Amino acid sequence: MNTRGMSTTLETPDTREVRPATGRRRSARPGTWRHALRRDWQLYSLVILPLLFFLIFRYAPMLGNVIAFRKFEPGGSIFGETWVGLRYVEMFLNDPTFWTVFTNTLILGGLTLLFCFPLPIVLALLLNEVRNRSIKRFLQSVSYLPHFLSMVIVAAMVMQMLAIDGPINQIVKALGGEATPFIQKPEWFRTIFVSSEVWQTVGWGTILYLAALTTIDEHLYEAARMDGASRWRQIWHVTLPGIRPTAITLLILNLGTFMATGFEKVLLLYNPLTYPTADVISTYLYRMGVESSSMSYAAAIGLFEALVGVVLIVSANFISRRTVGTGLW
Amino acid sequence: MVTTVKSRGYRVFQGINAVILTGVVIVTLYPFVNIIARSFSDERYIVSGQVNFFPRGFNVKTYQLVISDPMFWTNYRNTVVYTVVATAIAMVLTTCYAYVLSKKHLKGRTVLIWVAIFTMIFSGGLIPQYVLVNSLGLTNSIWAIVLPNAISVFNLLVMKAFFEGLPQDLEEAAAIDGLNTYGILWRIVLPLSKAVIATMVLFYAVSFWNSWFTAFLYLNEQELFPVTIYLRNLIAGATGAESAGAVMSEVSAAAANIQAVTIMLTVLPILAVYPFVQRYFVSGVMLGAVKG
């Protein structure tokens, strides 16, 4: 990916704006690096530490991915010792567990997207219809709350809710069923994961939609009413188009995190009994790399995962620019 | 027009809406209520599945039990220390970078922006990061927690957007009066940015307070754990006991009770400040969305 090429697409007229001429500007030929450095060296000095952060903790690991093609020795160079080519790639392509976790990743990511993307829109539309301001504020405060919890706490709560003696099993028993150890059952994992994800994120997801809703011109609704549009028609023809840019931006962002869906939560909630449905690429590579110390093998899987993620986000952005004219860049 | 707005269909809709939203509130809050109830209940009632909205066999002995564990307090104190140090470092780095990015005349600005944004699209991945942190010798130290996540690009973009909105004239006037860039940032820009700084401190503090995975990955000594790992190990222990099957009665009963109490104590600071800080979060998210 060419940084320069992308920067030109980012440049909107206002970023080209030049600061009004001050006395200092005349000291060197404007537009040269020497001039810029002389004038703004104090500004540049401020970026040194943050740039070091990005180089060490973000870009060095990107380069570190070469260990996917090199044999890594514990205690040796972080870039590996000897080239082994695509050995590790072939290894995971022939690894049946890899295909299981790949499928699980797609299913879990797909289900999460299917529920966690549209439900905030629905909730925002419902909240938007609440006319009493203080009730509305109360509803919003309550719905944001789970967002502020640590994943550990969410996982602990999920386990408490689903425990043999927990509330869900009380309901099951009240309805005449048998108490089930849900956390131990692979067939329940996806339901548990997605519903807890909804619980945690749906309220927070409404914020941007509610903001977008307030920007829709009241006159559009009036005009629609004049034309005899029912409430549903108004939602369909005025409200939904009004929040479309927001929805598309969030959809692209969701697609970008698709491959990494719920890594922390899966890691906290799964156990060997539920691996058949719960184990995803990121948890598998965690076990391979950190627990079994097969760094190169795990890095190869991780690189594959990241590349799929990039392809998803770039193509989503491309499609959205082509079809609706907005994108992240 | 009024008749269409207040039609029968609309009233029905309002009724259904009220029912749905009430349901949402109950579903969202019930886990909290239940955990509170469990934390004050006698374990016999928990095991027999009789605790719902209210504690049964009210007592605080599990609270006493958890509070009297010195490791709990060590880990709790670690969480506080990590949160404070990490937030401070993150704020310094983020503010500096965001301020520079907000200077539209700066040569190389677009490159600097893309250095940050590119890391949102493509990340190095867990394994190279893990290898790097280990080989830098950060393992088993606070730096493994603090440094690898020192800048959140989202927060950076929020601050950049805010700084861009500040009046340029003030800074120019200050420059004419002889303040250098550092002086302008410290004496002019930061005092004008209290709102966004408060928001960012909150964003960072909550994320560091809640984080567990970096600690899980890089810390091996119990004395260094944050309280989230203390809680995680409780859950892991409890699921282990449950899958053992037969012996589950007393072990997991006590475990369930201890878990509930630990959840309460960990979440308490957040619940306590939540009502006061919530609106800052909301404005921060919207600010980030406008120009993100």
* Complex-level ipTM: 0.85
pLDDT given at position B243:
44
Rounded Cα–Cα distance for residues A270 and B269 (Å)? 28
B104 touches chain A (CB under 8 A): yes
Query: Is the CB of residue A30 less than 8 Å away from at least one CB of chain B?
Result: no
End-to-end CA distance of chain B: 40
Q: What are A229-261's pLDDT values in tens digits?
A: 887 888 888 888 888 888 888 888 788 778 777
Host domain of residue B142: 60-289
* B124 to A286: CB separation less than 8 angstroms, yes or no: no
- What is the dihedral angle through the alpha carbons of B96, B101, B102, B104, rounded to the nearest 10 degrees? 140
Q: Are residues B282 and B146 in the same domain?
A: yes
- B38 interaction partners in chain A (CB closer than 8 Å): 160
Cβ proximity of B152 and B89 under 8 Å = no
Integer Cα distance of A112 and A133 in angstroms: 31
First CA to last CA distance, chain A: 13
Nearest Cβ partner of A50 from B126, B151, B267? B151
Amino acid at the residue A69: F
Between the alpha carbon of residue A149 and those of residues A152, A229, A265, B32, the distances in Å are 8, 42, 12, 11
A83: β partners = A70
Q: What residues does A70 pair with on adjacent strands?
A: A83
Q: B36, B59, B82: which is the final residue of a domain?
A: B59
Q: What percent of chain B shows pLDDT beyond 70?
A: 89
Whether B186 has its CB under 8 Å from any CB of chain A: the answer is: no
For chain B, give the mean pLDDT. 83
Task: Provide, as residue numbers in chain A, all residues whose Cβ is less than 8 Å from the Cβ of B48.
Answer: 165
Taking 80 as the threshold, does the pLDDT of residue B47 lie above it? no
In chain A, which residue's Cα lies nearest the Cα of B209?
A: A150
Question: Is A271 in the B-facing interface, judged by CB distances under 8 Å?
Answer: yes
A182 touches chain B (CB under 8 A): no
Say if residue B36 is in the same domain as residue B124.
Answer: no
User: Does B96 contact A7 at a Cβ distance shorter than 8 Å?
Assistant: no
Indicate whether B173 and B221 sit together in one domain: yes
Domain identity same for B133 and B242: yes
A62 interfacial to chain B (CB closer than 8 Å): yes
Mutate to test the interface with B, among A12, A40, A43 (most CBs of B within 10 A): A43
CA distance A64 to A283: 20
Say how many domains are in chain B. Answer: 2
- Which of A123, A151, A271 is facing B212, going by the closest CB pair? A151
Q: Are residues B53 and B66 in the same domain?
A: no
pLDDT the model gives residue B288: 61
Rounded to an integer, what distance in angstroms lies between the CA atom of residue A194 and that of residue A115? 8
Q: Are residues B29 and B133 in the same domain?
A: no
- Tokens matching residue A138: 């109360």
* Residue A151 near residue B45, CB atoms below 8 Å: no
Contacts of A248 (CB under 8 A, 6+ apart): A320, A324, A326, A327
Do B80 and B178 reside in the same domain of the chain?
A: yes
C-alpha span between A7 and A5 (Å, rounded): 5
Amino acid identity, position A280: V
What pLDDT is stored for residue B239 in this prediction? 52
Task: Find chain B residues with C-beta within 8 A of A159's C-beta.
Answer: 235, 238-239, 259
CA distance B76 to B58: 26
Task: With beta carbons less than 8 A apart as the criterion, state whether A286 and A266 touch.
Answer: no
- Cβ of A285 within 8 Å of Cβ of B30? The answer is no
Least confident among A132-146, A165-179, B176-190, B243-257: B243-257
Positions of chain A with pLDDT under 70: 1-28
CB atoms within 10 A of CB B26: 11
Please give, rounded to a whole number of angstroms, the shortest distance from the CA of B148 to a CA of chain A. Answer: 6
What's the confidence (pLDDT) of residue B23?
92
Rounded to an integer, what distance in angstroms lies between the CA atom of residue B265 and that of residue B60?
13
- Asked if the C-beta of B153 comes within 8 angstroms of chain A's C-beta atoms, the answer is no
- Among B59, B83, B100, the domain-final residue is B59
Predicted pLDDT of residue B5:
54
* Together in a domain, B149 and B46: no
List the 126-165 stretch of A: residues with Cβ below 8 A of B.
Answer: 126-127, 129-130, 139, 141-146, 148-153, 155-157, 159-161, 163-165
* Most distant pair of Cα atoms in chain A: their distance: 86
Per-residue pLDDT of B12-39, as tens digits, reads 888 888 999 999 999 999 999 988 888 8
Flag if A43 and B100 touch (Cβ within 8 Å). Answer: yes
Looking at beta carbons, which residues of chain B come within 8 Å of A201?
Answer: none
Distance CA B245, CA A184 (A): 11
Query: Can you give the pLDDT at residue B171?
Result: 85
pLDDT at position B180 is 86
Of A60, A153, A246, the CB nearest to B231: A153
For the entire predicted model, the pTM comes to 0.84
Closest CA to A192 of A278, A120, A102, A104: A278
Whether B126 and A231 lie within 8 Å, measured CB to CB: no
What per-residue string of b and e applies to B268-285 under the rule 16 or more CB within 10 Å gives b? ebbeeebeebbebbbebb
Chain B CB within 8 Å of residue A60 CB: yes
Asked if pLDDT for residue B290 goes beyond 60, the answer is no
pLDDT at B292: 38
Over residues B4-13, mean pLDDT = 71
Spatial contact of B120 and A253, defined as CB atoms under 8 Å apart:
no
pLDDT given at position A185: 84
Sign of the CA dihedral with A107 first, then A110, A116, and A119 last: negative
Is residue B66 a contact partner of residue B80, using CB atoms and an 8 Å limit? no
Kindly state whether A7 is in contact with chain B, defined as any CB-CB distance less than 8 angstroms.
Answer: yes
Give the model's pLDDT for residue A291: 86
The last residue of one of the domains, among B14, B29, B59, is B59
Q: Check: CB of residue A289 under 8 Å from CB of residue B130.
A: yes
- Residue A18 is predicted with a pLDDT of 47
Same domain, B89 and B187: yes
Rounded Cα distance, B114 and A25, in Å: 26
* pLDDT (0 to 100) of residue B252: 53
Residues B72 and B192 in one domain: yes
Give how far B123 is from chain A: nearest CA, Å. Answer: 7
pLDDT at B269 over 90: no
CATH (domain of B177): 1.10.3720.10
Radius of gyration of chain B (CA): 25
Percentage of residues in chain B with pLDDT exceeding 90?
27
B235 contacts on A by Cβ (under 8 Å): 152, 155-156, 159, 268
- What is the C-alpha separation between A258 and A116, in angstroms, rounded? 12
Residues B40 and B88 in one domain: no
Please name the residue ranges forming H helices in B7-68.
Answer: 8-39, 43-47, 61-67
pLDDT bracket for residue B289 (50, 70, 90) = low
Burial of B18 (0-12, 13-18, 19+ CB in 10 A): middle
In this structure, the answer to whether residues B12 and B80 fall within a common structural domain is no
Return the residue in A37, A42, A165 with the most chain B beta carbons within 10 A, the one to mutate for interface testing.
A165
